[in-house]
């Protein structure tokens, strides 16, 4: 899985603590964890295309959450970065075997494909059931001064 997923999740979570109605630049988000700003920007663009973030150009511009954290699941972020297609892609090689039909959808009939699809469904279900608001609440409970620290980090970061 792409490393950008981790960056995107942490960045979205940090945006949760940004001052309301204020946009944070990609440079500030990157400086938070010493990440390459231009590359993180690329991933943030993907999140914006997916409708998770809203982007603003020019001075005082940057990124902010397009929806309240309760409406953004971890699965949404992963899908925005990794793409919608599932990890295990059934190529239907059974069609090339003896007794194979080319007019049959083996994604639905092949037992192996079904098993992998079920497992992936369980994975997706876990991630779809966890929202940014859940993560935010958990972090704030464990580390109460995280919101303040994050805001200060944004304010002190140059660029």
Report how far apart, in Å, the C-alpha atoms of 135 and of each of 21, 34, 132 are.
21, 22, 5
DSSP annotation of 87: S
Q: Is 64 in the site for a copy of itself (CB under 8 A)?
A: no
Q: What does the chain come to in residues?
A: 159
**Is 147 among the residues that bind a copy of itself (CB under 8 A)?**
no
Give yes or no for residue 70 binding a copy of itself (CB under 8 A): no
Of 26, 32, 15, 10, the C-alpha closest to 68 is: 15
Torsion angle, alpha carbons of 84, 30, 147, 138, to 10: 40
Partner whose binding site includes residue 48, from DNA, a copy of itself, none (CB under 5 to 8 Å by kind): DNA
Return the range that interacts with DNA (CB under 7 A); candidates 49-57, 69-77, 103-111, 148-156.
Answer: 49-57
Among a copy of itself, DNA, none, residue 38 binds (CB under 5-8 Å by kind): DNA
Residues at the site binding DNA, with contacts judged by CB under 7 A:
2-4, 23, 25-27, 36, 38-39, 41-42, 44-45, 48-49, 55-63, 82-83, 159
């Amino acid at each position: 899985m792409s490393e950008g997923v981790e960056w995107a999740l942490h960045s979205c979570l940090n945006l949760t603590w940004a001052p309301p109605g204020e946009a944070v630049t990609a440079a500030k988000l990157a400086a938070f964890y010493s990440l390459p700003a231009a590359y993180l920007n690329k991933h943030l663009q993907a999140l914006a295309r997916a409708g998770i973030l809203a982007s603003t150009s020019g001075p005082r511009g940057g990124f902010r959450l397009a929806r309240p954290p309760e409406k953004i699941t971890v699965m949404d972020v992963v899908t925005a970065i990794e793409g919608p297609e599932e990890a295990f892609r059934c190529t239907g090689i059974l069609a090339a075997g003896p007794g194979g039909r080319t007019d049959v959808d083996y994604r639905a009939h092949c037992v192996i494909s079904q098993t992998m699809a079920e497992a992936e469904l369980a994975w997706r279900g876990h991630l779809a059931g966890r929202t940014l608001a859940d993560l935010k609440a958990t972090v704030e409970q464990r580390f109460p001064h995280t919101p303040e620290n994050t805001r200060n980090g944004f304010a002190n970061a140059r660029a």
